[in-house]
Amino acid sequence: MQCEEFESRVNDLLDERRLLLADADLAAHASVCASCATIARGYDALVEGVAGWERVEPSADLTSRVLSQWELVKAQAAQSDSADWDSAELPALRPVGLQRMTTATPEEEGFWTVRRKRAFAGGTLAAAALATAAMLLIIGGVDRFRESNQDAANTIATPEVPGDEAVASSAVGISPATIAKSSVSEVQARQSAAAQFTLTSLPIVGQVTETYRPLLEETDRTVRKSFGLPATSGSGPTTGSALATTTTAQAEADDSAWDAYLPDQMAPVTQNAVRSVVALLRVLPGVDQPVHQ
């Protein structure tokens, strides 16, 4: 036997849960090679050390503690009535040491109550400070306005804004109701367009294999439901050809394309939704050309 084989042979024997002394070749080599004999001593010491480990037993009340916590988890799940309770966080475990010193939960409850009260008090103070600052700013602004206009006539003239003449003249003769009506119809038109538009019609989605299409369609339905958009009958263009390359700029363009179909007040929210979907697509395995920032 060569020295190079020695340690690997020792490992093989240990893997088979056999004693080192069972191998005659090892014994023969160790008797003539000091360095390999040292290696053998090391392994032997290790095995003996592990064999000397005491069997560690948990506390007698471990099972009852597990079951108590399990009941608590089940009760919480029933209370929250959540379908996704499997992924919910466990209730905080009270350290064993603390359990031995204290027996009941009220202390713990009390601790959280105090923390909540402190947090609430801090929030109230901050809100009061902000409100005071806002009041001071308003009062200061009004005073300055009065000072700057104290010499003017007791009428407030319409301020003239350079370059606004054309707008002003075009607006002449159109009643506020008409202007409001046109805004409403514009919003309605955009909402109608939004109803025809789906997340699955985004260009980047073209990269996704059919495997993920149900996921995307479900996401689309969820987003639509969350934002109060009408449901669509179709799911937009199907897979289509995979794009050769998709850049970050295009992903941004996707955002704005979706955004353009929606009422203004929905834009920030939907941008986030679309970004989430784009981010999801970037990490999905099977997408032909993942987008790298």
Partner 1 sequence: MPAEHDDQAEKIRAIVARCLAGETLAATELVDRFRQQVFGLAYRMLGQREDAEDVTQETFVRALRSLRSWDETRDFMPWLLAIAGNRCRTFLASRARRPRFASECDHLPDPAPSPAAIRTLAEEVELALRGIRAEYRQAFVLFHEQELSYSEIAQALGCPVGTVKTWVHRARRELIDRLRARDVVGEHSSAVRRI
- Sole binder of partner 1 in the list 42, 110, 140, 290 (CB under 8 A): 42
Count of helix runs (H) and strand runs (E) in the chain: 11, 0
User: DSSP state, 177?
Assistant: H
Query: 């992924």: which residue's tokens?
Result: 87
User: 206 with 243: CB under 8 angstroms?
Assistant: yes
Rule CB under 8 A: is residue 53 a binding residue for partner 1?
yes
CB of 25 to partner 1, least distance (A): 10
Rule CB under 8 A: is residue 76 a binding residue for partner 1?
no
Rule CB under 8 A: is residue 15 a binding residue for partner 1?
yes
- Sole binder of partner 1 in the list 75, 93, 119, 129 (CB under 8 A): 93
CB of 16 to partner 1, least distance (A): 11
- Sole binder of partner 1 in the list 65, 190, 213, 221 (CB under 8 A): 65
CA distance 279 to 270: 14
Report residue 223: phi and psi, to 5°.
-60, -45
Rule CB under 8 A: is residue 66 a binding residue for partner 1?
yes
Nearest-CA neighbor of 76 among 65, 64, 88, 66? 88
User: 229 with 191: CB under 8 angstroms?
Assistant: yes
Query: 């359990």: which residue's tokens?
Result: 99
CB of 27 to partner 1, least distance (A): 4
| Nearer of residues 87 and 155 to partner 1, judged by Cβ | 87
Sites of contact with partner 1 (CB under 8 A): 7, 11, 14-15, 17, 19-21, 26-27, 30-31, 37-59, 62-63, 65-67, 69-71, 73, 86, 90, 93, 95-97
